[in-house]
């Protein structure tokens, strides 16, 4: 397996140039062996960071006004470049993260797929939000002026790489893709757990910028300590929005820093979720072993290091619930732990599991086996009842990794009470049959206020990238419940509306001109008029 050591430079890429950092170095680690990986990555200082944000600001005017075809071709070129380095990219990601090849191949395909999806959005153009209220000079008692509205990009965007998705939520991942699609230059801060993977993808983006003849400040990749450079990036006056996927503490720190600026800016942070799953009697009347295997697979997949991993499952008390718990034990007992992303993440998981298991009224339902490496702890499922769950806040905390809590309930009222006490979630899942509809109905309005995605007879792990997907939710799932970080609606985070009143046609932005040269769908006097009409 190649390590890419000979071709990785170990430096930030600022406006197309490799820039050795002045702030020390950091290395990646192989989590399977804890071995240090080369090269060491130099960390930038604040002066070098300012060069990246200044270049992004200088690129904004030309990039934000690109014609749809050039803009879409740029996103497609990034996807092509990522595919061209596919084998080397996956190889490096494997040794930096411990994730298996099949998972990373799928994540690479998701990354390139969402770039192409946003290219289609850019060509189609509805995100520009064109609205026209034509002038009514004869209206009484007062004439109406000509008013035209469109959405414009916010400005340079800071994006932070996620630890658990080195491709799909990283350098060219969803936040970067949607910001670039909106017309916002991106300054991307690499996650220090997979620096080589970030560099390979960063080069693919920088090469696409060059090949399309765009301003080099459209994209920069920087390495630096989050405690200083991350805060400095968010508080830089040239940055106008932030995309973040990571811990609750990290996300809330960035939100606080952005809010304290002289000019506050939005932070779209995806942070913490335990993704409750609700089992109803009808669902458990079937093959409980099949259900238990699917549950265990969802809990343990990617060592549980998924933001949609089901950390909480509600199961009825009584024989049906007992049978399911026994099936979970059978499914989990032979399961070996998988290598986690970093030693620190594995240690945090172990501490969280120890704290959960030490709570009064909590017992072990099932436990797997230690995996083949030091950072591959045995997965675990614990059990309790609704009264204990309601009284103990520790049982509501996310444990990032392969662990879950099974809560036994005795009535539909139990479920509604428990759901009302939940914090905001990315997902809520219902396993039911038609016979359960009357029991489920009172729960749905509660879950609508708690989660961004509600699904039936499936599992929350695995997020489809499309037009209707919502990957967001009330705090602490995200910092802004009105948005999504997955799917085409994500582009809306980096746009704002501007109205133009009585502006001469020759001075209007191209999307608003009367001739409609970009062939956009428009809302005219409240009615949607398709481009061809």
State how far the Cα of 152 lies from the Cα of 309, in Å rounded to an integer. 36
Nearest to 297 by CA among 397, 381, 409: 381
Question: 279: pLDDT confidence band, cut at 50, 70 and 90?
Answer: very high
Domain ranges of the chain: 12-135+143-271+484-492, 276-456
pLDDT at 86: 87
Q: For 97-109, what is the mean pLDDT?
A: 96
pLDDT at 436: 96
Q: Which alpha helices (DSSP H) does 40-67 contain, by range?
A: 46-64
Cβ-Cβ contacts under 8 Å for 231 (sequence gap 6 or more): 253, 254, 257
Question: 4: pLDDT confidence band, cut at 50, 70 and 90?
Answer: very low
Q: Looking at domain 12-135+143-271+484-492, does it have CATH number 3.40.605.10? A: yes
Residue 226 has pLDDT above 80, yes or no: no
Question: Collapsing DSSP states into helix, strand and coil, what is residue 81?
Answer: helix
Q: What is the percent of the chain where pLDDT is above 90?
A: 97
Residue 494: DSSP 8-state: G
∠ CA(131), CA(134), CA(138), 5° rounding?
A: 155
Phi/psi of residue 389, nearest 5 degrees: -60, -40
**517-526 CB burial, b ≥16 within 10 A, e <16:** ebebbbeeee
As beta bridge partners, residue 428 has 454
**235 in Cβ contact with 152 (< 8 Å):** no
Question: 532: pLDDT confidence band, cut at 50, 70 and 90?
Answer: confident
State how far the Cα of 64 lies from the Cα of 214, in Å rounded to an integer. 11
Q: For 228-243, what is the mean pLDDT?
A: 97
**Which token pair is 357?**
């298991």
Q: For 332-338, what is the mean pLDDT?
A: 97
Q: For 65-80, what is the mean pLDDT?
A: 98
- Tally Cβ neighbours within 10 Å of residue 233: 25
* Same-fold call for 12-135+143-271+484-492 versus 276-456: no
Nearest to 134 by CA among 515, 520, 502, 507: 502
Residue 96 has pLDDT above 90, yes or no: yes
Residue 41 has pLDDT above 90, yes or no: yes
Residue 260 has pLDDT above 80, yes or no: yes
Question: 325: pLDDT confidence band, cut at 50, 70 and 90?
Answer: very high
Max CA pair span of the chain: 80
Catalytic-labelled residue, pool 58, 270, 398, 423: 270
> Is residue 184 annotated as a catalytic residue, yes or no?
no
Listing DSSP states for 203-267 in one string gives HHHHHHHHHTT--GGGEEEE---IIIIIHHHHH-TT--EEEEES-HHHHHHHHHHHHTSSS---E
Residue 3 has pLDDT above 80, yes or no: no
Question: Collapsing DSSP states into helix, strand and coil, what is residue 521?
Answer: coil
Torsion of the alpha carbons at 260, 261, 264 and 267, rounded to the nearest 10: -70
CATH superfamily of 276-456: Aldehyde Dehydrogenase; Chain A, domain 2 (3.40.309.10)
| Average pLDDT of the chain to the nearest whole number | 96
pLDDT at 339: 97
pLDDT at 1: 35
pLDDT at 227: 78
How big is the chain, counted in residues?
533
pLDDT at 231: 95
> Is residue 270 annotated as a catalytic residue, yes or no?
yes
Catalytic-labelled residue, pool 307, 398, 464, 533: 307
Question: 5: pLDDT confidence band, cut at 50, 70 and 90?
Answer: very low
pLDDT at 6: 44
Torsion of the alpha carbons at 240, 244, 247 and 248, rounded to the nearest 10: 40
């Amino acid at each position: 397996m190649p390590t890419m050591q000979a071709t990785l430079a170990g430096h930030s890429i600022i406006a197309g140039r490799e820039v050795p950092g002045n702030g020390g170095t950091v290395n990646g680690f192989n989590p399977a062996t804890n071995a240090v990986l080369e090269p060491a990555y130099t960390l930038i200082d604040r002066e070098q960071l300012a060069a990246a944000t200044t270049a992004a600001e200088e690129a904004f005017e030309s990039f934000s006004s690109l014609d749809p075809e050039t803009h879409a071709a740029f996103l497609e070129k990034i996807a092509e470049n990522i595919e061209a380095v596919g084998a080397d990219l996956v190889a490096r990601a494997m040794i930096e993260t411990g994730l298996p090849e099949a998972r990373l191949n799928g994540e690479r395909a998701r990354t390139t797929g969402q770039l192409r999806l946003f290219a289609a959005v850019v060509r189609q153009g509805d995100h520009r939000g064109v609205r026209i209220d034509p002038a009514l000079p004869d209206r009484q008692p007062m004439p109406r002026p000509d008013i035209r509205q469109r959405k414009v990009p916010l400005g340079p965007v800071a994006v932070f790489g996620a630890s658990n998705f080195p491709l799909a939520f990283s350098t060219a991942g969803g936040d970067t893709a949607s910001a670039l699609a909106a017309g916002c230059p991106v300054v991307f801060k690499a996650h220090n757990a997979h620096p080589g993977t970030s560099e390979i993808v960063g080069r693919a983006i920088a090469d696409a910028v060059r090949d399309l003849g765009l301003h080099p400040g459209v994209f920069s990749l920087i390495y630096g300590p989050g405690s200083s450079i991350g805060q400095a990036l968010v508080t830089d006056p040239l940055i106008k929005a932030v995309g973040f996927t990571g811990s609750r503490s990290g996300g809330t720190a960035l939100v606080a820093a952005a809010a304290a600026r002289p000019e506050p800016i939005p932070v779209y942070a995806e942070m913490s979720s335990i993704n409750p799953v609700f089992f109803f009697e009808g669902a458990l009347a079937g093959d409980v072993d099949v259900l238990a295997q699917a549950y265990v697979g969802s809990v343990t997949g990617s060592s549980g290091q998924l933001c949609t991993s089901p950390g909480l499952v509600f199961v009825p008390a009584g024989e049906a619930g007992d049978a399911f718990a026994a099936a979970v034990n059978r499914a989990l007992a032979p399961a070996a732990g998988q290598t986690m992303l970093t030693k620190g993440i594995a240690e945090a998981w172990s501490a969280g599991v120890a704290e959960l298991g030490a709570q009064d009224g909590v017992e072990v339902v099932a436990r797997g086996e230690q995996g083949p490496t030091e950072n591959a702890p045995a997965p675990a499922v614990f059990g309790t009842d609704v009264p204990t769950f309601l009284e103990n806040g520790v049982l509501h905390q996310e444990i990032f990794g392969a662990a879950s809590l099974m809560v036994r309930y005795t009535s539909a009222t139990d479920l509604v009470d428990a759901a009302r006490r939940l914090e905001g979630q990315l997902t809520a899942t219902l396993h039911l049959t038609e016979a359960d509809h009357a029991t489920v109905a009172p729960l749905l309005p509660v879950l609508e206020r708690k989660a961004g995605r509600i699904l039936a007879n499936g599992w929350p792990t695995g997020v489809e990238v499309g037009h209707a997907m919502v990957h967001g939710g009330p705090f602490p799932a995200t910092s802004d419940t009105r948005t999504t970080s997955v799917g085409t609606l994500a582009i809306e985070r980096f746009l704002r509306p501007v109205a133009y009143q009585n502006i001469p046609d020759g001075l209007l932005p191209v999307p608003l001109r009367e001739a409609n040269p970009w062939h956009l769908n428009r809302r005219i006097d409240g009615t949607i008029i398709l481009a061809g009409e």
